[in-house]
Amino acid sequence: MSHLVLDGLTTRFGGFTAVDAMNLSVGRGEFVSLLGPSGCGKTTTLQMIAGFVEVDGGGIRLDGTDLVSVAPNKRGLGIVFQSYALFPHMTVAENIAFGLEMRDVPKADRDRRTLEAMELVGLKGFADRYPRRMSGGQQQRVALARALVIKPALLLLDEPLSNLDAKLREEMQGELRQIQRSIGTTTILVTHDQHEAMALSDRIVLMNQGRIEQIGAPHEVYDRPASAFVASFLGKTNVLAATGDGEGTVTVGGLVMPLPGAGKGPLLLAVRPERLTFAQAGEPGLEARITGRIFQGAHWQFSAESAAGALTLMRGNDGAAVPGEGETVRLRFSAADAAVLPAGAAA
């Protein structure tokens, strides 16, 4: 049985439907990210689970219990907000112990669990420190410890790393995933950062305009996007115009190639930049003109124009000569690297 179930979950603000009949099942111990652009409904979904936004339709069940009828403070959930929401007049230990105190946990047990939580998040020795004397990363650890110390049935994370600089965010991503795996708490993360979602998640729920576009493991959603929107939002991609003959062959610009199951008529092919390669002499390829190149250390990034549309491609920096701006090249990709999208799919 699923640990958390959202069944037709819906909410409206006036005449605007913020989340529209959302269905999602989350297994015990799973780390699931709600990913999408601003206004897609991901934070609203998290707030409905937490009980902060009213549900207009559908249900929320946690281990079979209907949460819609349960008050927010009775749901037993751990929540980490984007702003951390720490009490500035309380020390680290007092902030972490607050939830236990509200639950009337005896002081001895409260002190023990607080120390355990501090050690879990790497804050041993910080018990008497106040939030104003801590870095953003340290404050984030306090907020996480406060959420975990109550041993929640479900951990909700609302963009908890968005206020950190890029280097610290990357470090905290690794720590957060390690902590989550070590304690096995079912976790729902809201983020607009595609790299964060792919780094942390067992599954990604990609949302757009209040609806789910696709659910899957990070590599599945990345390699096999269900729509042009998913292809363009989750990493860079090339959406190429093509035509299928209905017999397993497609024409992309001037390139004719086998693509089983592609169908007949106009198609769109999603091909990731790192899957495009330069054709060798004598090999067929999609003719393109290099319009720009950027050196990025480990690889080169090229932009190009072709009969199938504008292209971006990557080539590893192996020391070999690379084409310059204005040069004409031929590009190749395999059938396994192309995801077929319906023509006219919204990007």
Q: Which domains does the chain have, with CATH numbers?
A: 4-228 (3.40.50.300), 236-342 (no CATH)
pLDDT digit string (tens) for the chain, length 347 residues: 689 999 999 999 999 999 999 999 999 999 999 999 999 999 999 999 999 999 999 999 999 999 999 999 899 999 998 888 899 999 999 999 999 998 999 999 999 999 999 999 999 999 999 999 998 889 989 999 999 999 999 999 999 888 788 888 888 888 889 999 999 999 999 999 999 999 999 999 999 999 999 999 999 999 999 888 998 898 889 999 899 998 889 999 888 999 988 888 998 999 999 999 999 888 889 999 999 999 999 999 999 999 998 999 999 998 888 999 999 999 999 989 999 986 555 44
pLDDT of residue 261: 82
- Residue 257, by phi and psi: left (phi above 0), alpha (psi -120 to 50) or beta? beta
pLDDT of residue 345: 52
User: How many Cα neighbours within 13 Å face the side chain of 195?
Assistant: 8
pTM of the model: 0.87
Give which of 22, 19, 194, 337 is closest to 204, Cα–Cα.
Answer: 194
Give which of 279, 277, 245 is closest to 263, Cα–Cα.
Answer: 245
pLDDT of residue 343: 57
* Cβ neighbours of residue 255 closer than 8 Å, sequence gap 6 or more: 284, 285, 286, 308, 332
